Amino acid sequence: MAVFSAIVLFVMGAALAFGGGWLVALGGSWYYLIAGLACLVTSALLFVRQPAARTVYALVLAGTLAWALWEVGFDWWPLGTRGGIPVLVGLWLLLPWAVGDGRRWDFGRIALAAVIVVSIGVAGYALTQNPHEKSGTLAAGAGEAVLQAGSVPDGDWHHYGRTLQGQRYSPLTQINPGNVAQLAVAWTYRTGDVRREDDVEETTYQVTPLKVGNLLYLCTPHHIAIALDAATGEERWRFDPEIPLDPNRQHQTCRGVSYFAGTDLQAADEACATRIYLPTSDARLIALDARTGRTCPDFGEDGAVDLWANMPNQKSGYYYSTSPPVVAQGLVIIGGAVNDNYAMDSPSGVIRAYDARSGALVWNWDSGNPERTEPLPPGATYTPNSPNSWSVSSADEELGLVYVPLGNRTPDQLGMGRSDAVERFSSSVVALEIGTGRVRWVFQTVHHDLWDMDVPAQPALLDLTTDQGTRPAIVIPTKQGDIYVLDRATGEPILPVREVPAPGGAIPEDFTAPTQPVSALTFNPSTLRGRDMWGVSLFDQLACRIAFRSLRYEGRYTPPSLEGTLVYPGNFGTFNWGSVAVDPVNQTMFGMPTYVAFTSRLIPADEISPDARANAGEAGLNLNVGGPYGVIMQPFTSPLGLPCHAPPWGYVAGVDLRTGTVAWRHKNGTIRDAAPVPLPIRIGVPGIGGPIITAGGVAFLGAAIDNYLRGYDVATGETLWEQRLPAGGQSTPMTYEADGRQFVVHVAGGHGSIGTDAGDYVIAYALPRN
């Protein structure tokens, strides 16, 4: 047994010494090298059965404890994983046969036992601490809900964010903190649209249904439109556009449909008096009769508009719409997604407005040619490869403005050759006149974006109480963690925005912006350090430290490089398309900030093998065909596949928008569905999807990588209710009233690249009838 102990300590010491020496050569911590050498000394003493081995190892363990406390304090997860294996080895060495000296309690055994007891005590105390959380209460405000022309009945949900304002706020109050724990499944519907073997990796179910009258409207990942009875979940109609699969698509998803009931349409009892607009992944916009699901033949050509019209660089699968259009003032306003980093010659990011009745093109706004908004003649094309809008827009019909979140020109990591117009509009929100498409104002969130920091989320609109009186506000969540609060009439900041110096040193062909904007309201994480690297043991943590020191990283906005750059927050986004939920009465915000680092490495085009697996999704090798460099993007993970930086990786947070202060922040989600052992340990996990908020004081959110839908107390962030889902819940819920009951509906279908369980479930929850 002593020989076995010696072998264990030799392997442990050799691994730590070798890796530690490598880390020291990179300028990192000396701990691993010193600990490794000490373990080798312990191994030698064990091999010759010297009780002094315990004394040496007691010093190793005491040094480990002191080093861990110095680096991370009483933060349990990084503290526990630093000391876990060393403490277990120490417990083994306490056993009589581990050293071969019987049961005699000499100085070494006593010292080792004492250090182990202290280590366990420190770990126990750390378990009681929550250094990353903030407790508090969101105070009630004195605002008024924004009610505009065409406002939505309290019990309905007519738009993606319930209203054109994108607030994800419902005035319903039947469900409240006192009774939300009683929510139970009222009905379940299966769409039948399941993930297929030949689907692209990014096949995801992200839809938020609409509720109008007594019907729910939704779409599936393959763009089948469905209407359900809102009270029972029974299918009323189904429309399948029969879209062929295309391996060229980067995404296969449908986030929602749009509804229209214009007063100038036909009489209410005629066909297509009310309409559902369905965007598709083969680049069509289809108008359906909201009552029957049949196409509206007077819209476009046989009920559809071809979004490839006037589009340059037409290649199947390279352009499509994943998000529902905005329907405002009799117009259907739609953008589209392009495949990121597939090719230099990409379609245009044009925004187009179509007449809601006829489907005639009324205006087009091309960010590469922003002054020309009149429809193009046949044969003309929009600007190729201009910034696009793949997410959801908001609108203020009283101001006559639509607010469009814009992405970056592809390829995202190569900024050379961008025009002045592209530099102006990339990664921004632009306010366009609903009637004409002309630019009213633009606010850029990243200058010369080289990191795929698209504005990914629907902006939320509300009237905000300030020292200067009530102001029309727009709340803009971003991938990099900043939340900008602007005057939506002018684009001027309400909460301060400052420019801060940014890292330089781009590749020779490119450049970086000298400064970048930072909002006073930000969830941007602190700059990573070596001590922030993490693993479930010292060994994978050491591997992460070596990887960290091998990458280029000077903080947020470190430019892409040939040696590899750490991008944090990564392009997964602190906030993504799920956006945030805003209470316009209390003037508060509920959000789900997520933290996952990515790596980005440029590869010269002539070094890429023609047989390399490429463009299988956003992660991995992306070719940028026709450009000088491809790019490899990956989550920054350990050899075990876990994030290399310490948890928490996901939170829920409550914000007072009047002051821009975070009232509370709590870890969100467990490792139950991500760990080899399904334990519901609340560590704070990543998520993608969005929250909703209700006047009853409860917020609802799925999204996290564990399969749960949860209800939260909006005032404190406390989790009041959670329900196990049959599949991944990477979507945004909604709520409505039917037959006197308030329902909460969530879609559970999973997310391809995140790897959550696939499914086809639409689940409604309600309080018991009694």
Q: Which residues are catalytic?
A: 452
- Residue 455 parent element (H or E): none
Distance between CA 655 and CA 582 in Å, rounded?
9
Distance between CA 464 and CA 586 in Å, rounded?
10
Residue 264 tokens, joined: 């100038």
599 CB-near residues (< 8 Å, 6+ apart): 551, 564, 565, 566, 567, 632, 633, 634, 635, 636
The closest alpha carbon to 116, from 75, 86, 137, 96, belongs to 86
User: Which ranges of 204-256 would DSSP assign to H, the alpha helix?
Assistant: none
Question: Any idea what the Cα angle at residue 278 is, between residues 276 and 283, rounded to 5°?
Answer: 155
SS3 649: coil
The closest alpha carbon to 368, from 384, 356, 392, 352, belongs to 384
- Bridge partners of 278, per DSSP, are 286
Q: Cis before residue 411, ω within 30 degrees of 0?
A: yes
The closest alpha carbon to 169, from 149, 197, 147, belongs to 147
For 329-343, give the secondary structure using H, E and C. Answer: CCEEEECCEECCCCE
Distance between CA 275 and CA 290 in Å, rounded?
5
Distance between CA 254 and CA 218 in Å, rounded?
9
What ranges make up the beta strands (E) of 523-622? 565-567, 581-583, 588-591, 598-604, 620-622
Residue 345 tokens, joined: 């010659």
Note whether 631 and 670 are within 8 A (CB). Answer: no
Using CB atoms within 10 A of its CB, is residue 631 exposed (0-12), middle (13-18) or buried (19+)?
buried
The closest alpha carbon to 72, from 58, 83, 57, 59, belongs to 83
SS3 664: strand
The closest alpha carbon to 451, from 599, 329, 307, 322, belongs to 599
Give me the DSSP letters along 295-336: B-TTTTBTTEEETTTT-SS--TTSEE--SPPEEETTEEEE--
Angle between helix 107-127 and 52-72 (nearest 10): 20
Distance between CA 744 and CA 709 in Å, rounded?
10
Q: How far is CA 560 from CA 101, 333, 338, 546, in A?
A: 58, 34, 21, 19
Residue whose token pair is 């629907």: 458
Distance between CA 737 and CA 741 in Å, rounded?
5
Distance between CA 667 and CA 575 in Å, rounded?
15
Distance between CA 306 and CA 295 in Å, rounded?
14
Residue 21 tokens, joined: 């020496």
SS3 79: helix
Using CB atoms within 10 A of its CB, is residue 501 exposed (0-12), middle (13-18) or buried (19+)?
exposed
Distance between CA 153 and CA 461 in Å, rounded?
18
579 CB-near residues (< 8 Å, 6+ apart): 161, 166, 168, 392, 457, 458, 459, 460, 477, 690, 732
- Residue 662 parent element (H or E): strand 661-667
